[in-house]
Amino acid sequence: MFRFQELDHLYALAVTPVLVLLFVLLIYWRRKKLKALGDERLVGDQLLGFIPGRSTLRFILLTFGLSAIIIGWANLQAGDKLEKVQRRGVDVVIALDVSKSMLARDIQPDRLTRAKQLIMALTDKMQNDRVALVVFAGRSYLQLPLTVDYSAMKMMLQSVSPDMVPTQGTVIGNAVDLAQQSFSQTERKYKSLIIISDGEDHDESAINKVKEAAENGVVVHTVGIGSPQGTTLFDPETKAVKLDEKGEPVVSKLNEEELRSIASAGHGTYSLLQNTNDVADKLTDRLQGMEQKNFGAVEYSDYISYFQYFLLAGFIAILIEWLIPGAKALNKKQTNGAMA
């Protein structure tokens, strides 16, 4: 089994396509300049030691070297020793509201970003719990099934946006149904659902769905995102404040009453997101206070690192690129000699 110890470092590889694009533009610009001076081949003959394709080779070596160093920085590892471990925890499904009202900026930088930060902080504090991610607006979608791979959760959060759910609205009841399907159907405990939303629910059946989930052993916690005073919404299409059918500005407000009612029906707690760490600590305490179940698993307890090979390959490629001499323009005396 292979893994990257520092998976987040691989994001630095995004610089590679940028470098390729810049190099292509540079080649286009150079050819345009050479054509303005005359025939490309004749102009090339005026460069001492000119070799066609040398700049491309140097670029390939430099790009390969940089990419290899970044991969080495992330530290590719292979499992070396298997060991059976016992985990004790609960199953947690996080239902994240991604409706367009979550882009409101009554809390900075906006509601959705703060919700993502909360999930990040929560997973950082988890140890043995399995976690899943459901996103919802007018419909709900399972983005990540139950797993102990918290890095997968963090990577998934990077791409979460309102565009993921084409049907707008906030139908919490549908998210509760999908969360129930994600849990084990044979157990009536060890299960918790965390709903993160601004509470602008357009589903009257949400309370009944939560009560049904509670009967099946799911403890439902809610987290409110936003402010009761609310704020106007920005319309990306008109690049102005969003207006309703009457031409009045649309104001999105946090509906704490709805979220409190859901938490009460689900035998859980309601939290208003103000301090991210405080809310994450509160939720973690509630999860740890639940009855835990054993997750028997076989894991790699020791890994072999291969970062040194990638670093070596990268440095060798960059060294070779540095040793390749560049072309120089012939001086007047050399030009005359060449012409003779």
Instruction: Count other Cβ atoms within 10 Å, centred on residue 32.
Output: 9
Task: Examine the domain organization and report whether 8 and 31 are in the same domain.
Answer: yes
What's residue 330's pLDDT? 44
Model confidence band, residue 47 (pLDDT cutoffs 50, 70, 90): low
Residue indicated by tokens 């939560």: 210
Task: Examine the domain organization and report whether 41 and 183 are in the same domain.
Answer: no
**What percentage of the chain carries pLDDT values higher than 90?**
52
Higher-pLDDT residue of 212 and 337 is 212
What's residue 202's pLDDT? 64
* 96 falls within a domain: yes
* 80 falls within a domain: no
Distances, alpha carbon 172 to alpha carbons 92, 153, 242, 254, 291, in Å: 17, 21, 23, 14, 26
Over residues 269-286, mean pLDDT: 96
pTM over 0.75: no
Task: Examine the domain organization and report whether 185 and 291 are in the same domain.
Answer: yes
Distances, alpha carbon 205 to alpha carbons 173, 174, 202, 262, in Å: 6, 9, 9, 11
Q: How far is CA 245 from its chain centroid?
A: 35
Residue indicated by tokens 């207006």: 243
Model confidence band, residue 304 (pLDDT cutoffs 50, 70, 90): confident
Number of domains in the chain: 2
Task: Examine the domain organization and report whether 139 and 242 are in the same domain.
Answer: yes
Higher-pLDDT residue of 71 and 27 is 71
Q: Is the N-terminal amide bond of 109 cis, ω within 30° of 0?
A: yes
Over residues 244-270, mean pLDDT: 90
Task: Examine the domain organization and report whether 121 and 261 are in the same domain.
Answer: yes
Task: Examine the domain organization and report whether 69 and 212 are in the same domain.
Answer: no
Which range marks the domain in which residue 326 is found? 2-75+306-339
Q: How many helices (H) and strands (E) does the chain have?
A: 11, 15
Q: What is the pLDDT of residues 167-180, one digit of tens each?
A: 777 789 999 999 99
Q: Looking at the chain, which runs of residues are DSSP E strands?
A: 2-4, 47-48, 76-89, 91-97, 130-136, 140-147, 191-197, 218-224, 231-232, 234-235, 240-241, 251-252, 270-272, 293-305, 328-329
Q: What is the pLDDT of residues 72-107, one digit of tens each?
A: 999 988 866 666 666 788 999 999 999 989 999 999
Over residues 208-229, mean pLDDT: 94
Instruction: Count other Cβ atoms within 10 Å, centred on residue 38.
Output: 10
Over residues 278-302, mean pLDDT: 81
Smallest CA-to-CA distance from 194 within 108, 129, 274 is with: 129
Instruction: Tell me if residue 218 falls in helix, strand or coil.
Output: strand
Structure tokens at 89: 């925890």
Structure tokens at 157: 């959060």
Q: What is the pLDDT of residues 240-256, one digit of tens each?
A: 788 777 778 888 899 99
pLDDT exceeds 70 at position 137: yes
What's residue 334's pLDDT? 46
